Structure 1
Amino acid sequence: MTDDRIPVTVLSGSLGAGKTTVLNRVLTDDHGLDVAVVVNDMGEVNVDAEHVTQQSDLGGEEEVIELSNGCICCRLCGDMLEEVGRLADRREFDYLLVESSGISESIPVAQTFAMGFEDADFDPTDTYRLDTMVTVVNAHSFWESFDSGAALTGDEISGDAERVPEAVLLDQIEFCDVLLVNKCDLVPDDALEEIEAVLERLQPRAEIVRTEFGDVGPEAILDTDRFDFSRAQNSAGWKHELQHEHHHDPQEEHGVASFVYERRRPFHPERIAAVLSDLTDELIRAKGFFWSAGREDVAMGVDKAGTSVRAGSSGKWLATLPEAERQQFFAARPGLEDDWDDEWGDRLTRLVFIGRKFDGERLIDRLDECLLADAEMDEDWDAYADPFEPEERRELALANE
């Protein structure tokens, strides 16, 4: 059956990665498509939209939509749907290209096009088909971060942002179909191989394309038919690693390694907080959940993205739910019951680490030292000091100063 809905490509990437340059390169190429453009910028003045209009032959306000002073993943989601709905009513184009802001999270934007938005009058799934999620990576920033321990993005955001830029960038990498490694001319070939090895760990499903000055053929990001929402949700690198038994024998390629740490004994809260706040800069990504003694009500989550580490409450253990609710989870996912402990239920630690030239065995030893000793298993865990935020605060920043 032919799908005649308008295909959509979403272009993401950190500030300065080269998204607008890529956008202009594609728009000025002879691809035979009539493309409408949505450009999202955090600032009050949408500089990117002005640049797109100046550098391409798209001059009409009906063809270039500017969404400013917010992100289309949250604050401007409704505005975006209103505009793409208005465009759909005209149907004078056959492809939609969306450039999101540097701090837009990819998953909410994809969900908007793939599933709609409950508070909006316009349902995009009737008119649009999400075709490709693209993330542009600044190869030079990645390369510099390897040797200096600096932030992966090199960007600073004013105001009270909920997510740090590095976390957003890695989310964009982990949820995409195509990775454009831009500014390759600024990086030696051997360093590019290391960067690609890291990216393959973070997102093994994506096609990786090297670019200079944003020069990429339109066929790499338009009408690829690569997007599959069910696969995309489960294809992030850390989930991929959790599903493959790499536990304590990291496989290395170009110095890039990953492993999963899993234990069924709780961490001492102060000891694990100290380790999490002192993770090596060579660890680019760490993600998962852990059991902190004295917090038997909630699973504690950890998220390291580049130089930033966050940890805190991340949801309830199934063991804390009423029996009827628990049985509903077991019925939906039979494998959960097979992994159930008679005393502690589903309480455990499962963390994935991805990094470059780091000492995995030393990290495992440090984490093991955070586990409760036999004598501590019989102590009153509620008497332990809790370095993490209260339950109503989702995360605690433990950024390495």
Structure 2
Amino acid sequence: MPDNSIPVTVLSGILGAGKTTVLNHVLRESGDRELAVLVNDMGQVNVDAELVAESSDIADEDEELVELSNGCICCELRGDLLDAIGELTREREFDGIIVESTGVAEPLPVAQTLTLGFDQADLDPTEFYEETGIEPLEGYHLDTTVTVVDAHQFRTAMESDELVDDDGTEKHLGDLVVEQIEFCDVLLLNKCDLVDDGTLEEIEATLEVLQPRANIVRTEHGRVDPNELVDTGQFDFEAASQSAGWIRELAQPHASAEEEHGVTSFVFEARRPFHPERFADLLDRFPDPVVRAKGHFWIAGSERSEDPAEASGETVSEKRRVSRTDEAFTLNVAGQSIRVGPGGTWVDSLPPEERRERREANPELEERWHDEWGDRNIRFVIIGTEMDHAALQADLVECLVTDDEREADWTTFDDRFPTFEPPEVEGGSDGDEKAERDGKHDHTEELGIAD
């Protein structure tokens, strides 16, 4: 980065974790640093901004404090985020900018906006430049992503079935906590004075598995050395995108022994499909000790109709028949949130010529090709505390189709899984995890599917 590029710190964490307390402490203890603050709140009145103004040397009418209200910077205010930082950097020179996001914001899309600019924002770059004279990302760079974790409420949040509202979009609290943990450079474990040492060690062990790359800092009352958060040089988009514990485990799977504090993980792999009814039943009673599960799967199911008549002028009689076995699904478990989404189609389901080209272009795919199933497979990483590996492995194996069921009529199986329009993902199932990280799988559905 150029020497004059201003470092930006993004501060995330669910409501009540202590983000504003941390921010106020950093502002008070920043010494000679000139810091600007951008505060995001979902309400029409930005309460957090008022708290920052009242509790620090920054006044809300000063240009050091900018409010983004009535929206979330990880979705509808992404253009406003670029606009606000651009205005700050044009008006004055700062030693750092701190962005305090709303409690429902996910750090990944915010980081995308601050590293990719208008590629990730609903803002016209030409109009923006004409009005401000500022190029996006000119004069500043994303330097550090920080997630504040409430040690006192961590287990409660992970085990909660509460839904939080993000401007009409419901997010599961446990899922949001995990998303914020998995994409960060620094994890501030706050309110440590309210938790005994044994519990703190258990929480830290979970955090280390969910995000092995992050620097974990224990804090009380938000008191942290500003040097831990400002101008650290820690952010690397590629490293951050690839560093979540589930990604590392899938890349280098191993069955871990019972570790200290009982935080373990394992990878489940199979070639046969799941029986849709049995796997749906298992998801409805998925074990509580599972903190995180991620991966892809396929099911033995019936054909469904795809009617392209409106788009292509074909008659109804010419509609295509698409087998459920051609579809890849993604599984995303975080705490009590269980979501299933589209993962594209398997390469084996493509027309012969295209299938041959894909196989020739992808040596790893060719190596894993199965004579009967092609590239269809099941692969999950499962992370939890005090998990019974053997029991959960057995439950998953029990969900696979049996030898007798392989010869049965799969159209008779009860299939309660959602129907999706599969996204076009380059490389078939091999692109599933990448597409998930790149935000292409945004049509997941919350389960239990028995509802």
- Tell me the TM-score normalised to structure 2 length: 0.82
Tell me the residue number matched to 2:346: 317
**Does the CA contact (< 8 Å) of 2:164 and 2:170 recur in 1?**
no
1:2-401 matches, within 5 Å, as: 2-59=2-59, 60-118=61-119, 119-120=122-123, 121=125, 123-144=135-156, 149-150=159-160, 156-157=164-165, 160-247=168-255, 249-294=256-301, 295-322=324-351, 334-392=363-421, 394-399=443-448
Once residues 10 and 34 of structure 1 are traced to their aligned partners in structure 2, the CA distance between those partners, rounded to angstroms, is 17
Give the 3-state SS of the residue equivalent to 1:97 in structure 2: strand
State how far apart, in whole Å, the 1-side matches of 2:357 and 2:144 are: 35
In 1, the alpha carbon distance for the partners of 2:360 and 2:115 equals: 27
Q: For 1:296, what is the secondary structure of its paired residue?
A: helix
How far apart in 2 are the matches of 1:272 and 1:86?
Answer: 52
Q: Partner of 2:87: helix, strand, or coil?
A: helix
The aligned amino acid for 2:388 is D
Q: Secondary structure at the match of 2:149?
A: strand
* Count of matched residue pairs: 396
Say which is worse superposed, 181-190 or 382-391, in terms of deviation. Answer: 382-391
Displacement after TM superposition at 1:378 (Å)? 1.6
Aligned identity (percent) is 52
Structure whose CA Rg is larger: 2
Q: Once the 2 structures are TM-superposed, how far is the Cα of residue 323 of structure 1 from its aligned partner?
A: 5.9
* SS in structure 2 of the partner of residue 65 of structure 1: strand
Post-superposition shift, 1:330?
Answer: 5.9
Instruction: Answer whether contact 1:8 1:96 (CA < 8 A) is retained.
Output: yes
CA contact (8 A) 1:17 1:182 kept: yes
Shift in Å, 1:2? 4.4
Any unmatched runs of 5+ in structure 1? none
User: Residue by residue, what CA displacement relative to the aligned partner does 1:281-327 show, whole Å, maximum 9, x if unpaired?
Assistant: 21111111111112222211111111121223232223334567667
Distance of aligned partners of 1:18 and 1:321 in 2 relative to their CA distance in 1, 3 Å threshold: farther
SS in 1 for 2:137: helix
The question of whether the paired residues in 2 share the 8 Å contact of 1:31 and 1:218 is answered with: no
Structure 2 unaligned blocks of 5 or more:
129-134, 302-323, 422-441
Secondary structure at the aligned position of 1:140 is classed as: coil
Q: From the superposition, tell whether residues 4 and 326 of structure 1 become closer, same or farther in structure 2 (CA, over 3 Å).
A: farther
Does 86-95 or 388-397 show the bigger shift?
Answer: 388-397
RMSD: 2.3
Q: Answer whether contact 1:298 1:316 (CA < 8 A) is retained.
A: yes
The Cα of 1:337 is off from its aligned counterpart by 2.8
**What letter is aligned with 2:265?**
S
Q: Partner amino acid for 1:242?
A: L
Deviations 1:190-212 (A, max 9, x none): 00000000000000000000001
Provide the C-alpha distance between the structure 2 equivalents of 1:333 and 1:181, rounded to a whole number of angstroms. Answer: 43
Instruction: Give the superposition deviation at 1:339.
Output: 1.9
Q: Deviations over 1:352-386 (max 9, x none)?
A: 11111121110000000000001111222233221
Residue 106 of structure 1: how far off its partner (Å) = 1.1
- Choose 329-338 or 66-75, whichever is displaced more: 329-338
Alpha carbons 1:307, 1:399 under 8 Å: kept: no
Q: Is the 8 A contact 2:360 2:366 kept in 1?
A: no
CA contact (8 A) 2:164 2:172 kept: no
